[in-house]
Amino acid sequence: MNSDEIISNSPEETQAIAKSLVESRPDLCTIALHGELGAGKTCFVQGLAAALDINEPITSPTFTIINEYDGTRKLQHMDLYRLSSPDEVLALGFEDYLSENSIIAIEWPDRAEELLPAETVHVYLKAMDQPDCRSITIRSKK
Ligand SMILES: Nc1ncnc2c1ncn2[C@@H]1O[C@H](COP(=O)(O)OP(=O)(O)OP(=O)(O)O)[C@@H](O)[C@H]1O
Ligand SMILES: [Mg+2]
């Protein structure tokens, strides 16, 4: 799925866009979430969780690096912000996570760029002039 730029006008709309991505792509595995601090990456993951019937609150794994949730599919939520090299990402057992049948949502995926599977869906979030607006673009090879 390659989307044109989608404009989200609220956190709820960003979550709804994430939810429709899960619903339109049952084969979805790895999602790389690109965007600056506060762009809405964790907000997007909250929408993924809603699509998987996960009712726990989704909080940022900035310090834990990985949070795992059980839903209709397992969700692994990673925030690689504090890591600086692919070696550190590998040391987390990154490749083992990829081999599980879970949805893996990765914030700050540039830390792991060369480790991402080719079928990764890339989501680009960008702040806009109005405070609650975000530009969202979704790109994948398929
Ligand atoms: N349209 C929107 N989509 C997403 N978030 C929005 C939107 N409008 C306002 N926000 C607010 O922007 C903030 C986004 O925070 P969030 O934690 O999702 O960012 P992040 O990209 O994960 O940042 P970080 O890199 O620090 O983890 C939230 O406070 C959210 O309520
Ligand atoms: Mg975040």
- How high is the pLDDT of residue 41? 98
Q: Is the pLDDT of residue 142 over 70?
A: no
| Strand arrangement, sheet containing 121-127 | 6-8, 134-139, 121-127, 30-34, 103-107, 75-79, 66-69
Q: Is the pLDDT of residue 12 over 80?
A: yes
Sort 92 into a burial class: Cβ within 10 Å, 0-12 / 13-18 / 19+: middle
Q: Which residues line ligand 1 (CB under 6 A)?
A: 8, 10-11, 13-14, 35, 37-43, 60, 79, 107, 132-134
CA dist 107 and 135 (Å) reads: 17
Question: What is the per-residue pLDDT across 22-81, written as a single tens digit (0 to 9) for each?
Answer: 999 989 999 999 999 999 999 999 999 999 999 999 999 988 899 999 999 999 999 999
Domain boundaries in the chain? 6-139
- How high is the pLDDT of residue 1? 60
Q: Cβ distance 32 to 104 under 8 Å?
A: no
CA of 33 to the centre of ligand 1 (A): 12
CA dist 99 and 102 (Å) reads: 8
Ligand 1 pocket test target in 12, 42, 66, 80 with most atoms within 8 Å of CB:
42
- How high is the pLDDT of residue 2? 74
Question: What is the per-residue pLDDT across 71-122, written as a single tens digit (0 to 9) for each?
Answer: 999 999 999 999 988 999 999 899 898 888 899 999 999 999 999 999 999 9
Beta bridge partners of residue 138, listed in sequence order = 123
**pLDDT confidence of 141, banded at 50, 70, 90?**
confident
- How high is the pLDDT of residue 98? 86
CA dist 58 and 38 (Å) reads: 15
Q: Give domain 6-139's CATH architecture.
A: 3-Layer(aba) Sandwich (3.40)
CA dist 8 and 6 (Å) reads: 6
- How high is the pLDDT of residue 135? 98
Residue with structure tokens 């398929």?
142
- How high is the pLDDT of residue 100? 84
CA dist 105 and 78 (Å) reads: 6
Whole-model pTM: value is 0.96
Nearest to 79 by CA among 31, 124, 117, 126: 31
- How high is the pLDDT of residue 42? 98
